[in-house]
Structure 1
Amino acid sequence: MGQLDSIDWDARFQQAALDPSGWLPVLRDMASATGSARGQLIGVGGPNAVPFNWVTDFPDEALSDFVRMDGGSPRINFRIAADLEFQPGTVVHEADYRRARGRLASDTYVDFCHDREIPLGCHTALIAEDQVMIGLALLRTTRDGVTTEDQRTEFARAARAARSAVRLQRAIEHQGADLVTGTLEAMAADCLLIDGFGRVGSMTPGAERAIAEAQAIRIVDGMLGGATPPTSRRIAQALRAVLAGNDPARVALGGGRRLELFALARREWALSFSPQVIAILRDPQAELGREVAAVARDFGLSPAEAAVTRLLVGGLDRDAVAALRGVSAGTLKSQIKAIYQKTGCAREAELVALVAGLNR
């Protein structure tokens, strides 16, 4: 063990946290130091069940197959199933895997490991909290054989350093989230930031108020949901799609309100603690009210003129506006003329464009 003891895992893994492109090299060194074919760092949890899965010298199609089979589920994955019996930080290995295989719902992952030559090895949970697990593993072939006690001891030594590195990188990614939050607070929209595990992080004050009211959206166990179970399922499906790709998604919330989800730029080799999706709560009536209030403030409209502006911009014709306001057609015409004079508009289309563009 003398040569292995000379490996400074703390320095190696810390460097990976500071320069995440170094994760694969240090995982490869860990595998080599323990006589294993491959090293792995994996994140499990959230709508996108496997936010990241880094395996050394493993084909991309195999990683895609793992996601398609829902490989992060303890129902089919004997490694994750075995891990449920132990406290985080325990080194779980082949003897534990054998017991777990008898409890699986199918042999899909067992067959996958056989075909991809990774049936043996050991692993440990570096982080297991808030329905999120980040695991470190040695993936071994039948030729590598079952892990020895010495190999597991060396793996545990590497794992301690990896755990500190993961926590360091998580802190760095959270700092990035704080910077994004500062930008969001300057926006008029009600926004929430969501990380790669589907957990809500920072949000604007308007979004906080919407969460407190719980009429359109709410947060349950750190996850964004709707006012009803069907709406929560639609939000989860939309979030899963945005995390898996880059296309935006929209979810109707009722009452004319909607939730828009957009993917943020993703840093390569991020551990998924950084914001990866921005969710924008749209309430057309509330937004229109804010926009009209801004026009009234900036152009000196009276309360009556502001009310007329809101109804016109909301799509009502003049007869409907007059009826709702309880005024004659002549009075309404005079009010609209005053609105045009104050705002510099010549027709309703220009007024609509002014209101819509003032806060953009």
Structure 2
Amino acid sequence: MLGGTLTGEDGVHDLVAAIYDAALDAARWPDVLNRIGDAVGGPEVIFGVYDPATGLSNLLAPRIDPVLVNRLLDWAPRNPLLPLGIGQAPGKVFTVGNFITQDQFTSTDFYQEWWRPAGYDTEPLTTNLLVDDSATGIFTIHGSLNRSPFGTDQKRLFAILAQHLVRAVALQRRVYHLTFASESALAGFDRLQQGFLLVDAEARPLFTNRIAQALLDADDGLRLEGGMLSASDADCGRLLRKLVSSCLALAGIGAGGELSLRRKTGRSPLGVLVAPVSLETAMAALPWTVSRRPVAIVLVIDPETEMQASLDSLQQRFGLTPAEAAFALEITKGDGRQAAADRLGITVGTARTHLSNIFDKTGSKRQAELVRLLLQK
């Protein structure tokens, strides 16, 4: 037994599959989160994702009193735990004791006024789901004071599921605005700024959207070999096919993954996310694939294309020049005018002029207000 109430590998497989189904249908998240909590042995969970650049905002705590959740949000500016885990890599498991002693934590106002009244022990299991400029995501499982601390098997199961949650959120950020299982799904896939492929266990494409097809036609990083998805670099191609084949066994513990594909032209590498997809979900969107079982979604991200799409959007929304749009995009990273100027290789004077023009065109008065406006969709 790996965790609280989850028995055997089949149970883990089913739960992993459910995580990826929730990434494609957000209505499934509350049930999936409760199942994770039960499996690990800490039934109360908090799942939060905030990504203003895409418009994705999701805070779920299915079994926690909404009053407690609202009070936790009120504590956010003064919560001593929030800054501690910011630098932790997505998927890495951490807890309070990794940063401060129990005595230090229990002496804080936050512990005395929110944590202890909520009835939680001092060693929750937490992982960052994403850390990307202004976007954040976190998942925490709380144990209660009247339960034993999380054991080795429970921590191991949480660590396994954390990796899949990170990949599921990465997928959700790209496709959450689509109704995956609908007649309009195909048109939606073609509106994505990322390559989207549905493939079988041998990495043979069953569906390819327009961006993915363009990348395949360019044969620069991503390609087809003998009808199978591959890469310009032979080692990357083998790894890509291995990740796809790992999705075959009912979305097993090690299903899917991420890799970077080098390009022959020297352009920025392509980012690739491979995630398992259930037959039921794939069939709802692409019913003709019944004769060839789809096992994985392959999402291909071209950072240069995404950057250009963001620049074009800022120019169209606010009438910015290309140079102003580029500076505005750097400003959204939140580390100030000087850092933005350094990344673009422009002088402080030029940066000051750009910022003044951007303020005028957007009607903003302060930099924080400007960043919030620029990140809105």
* TM score, norm. by length of structure 1: 0.50
The structure with higher relative contact order (CA 8 Å, sep 6+) is: 2
Q: Which has the larger radius of gyration?
A: 1
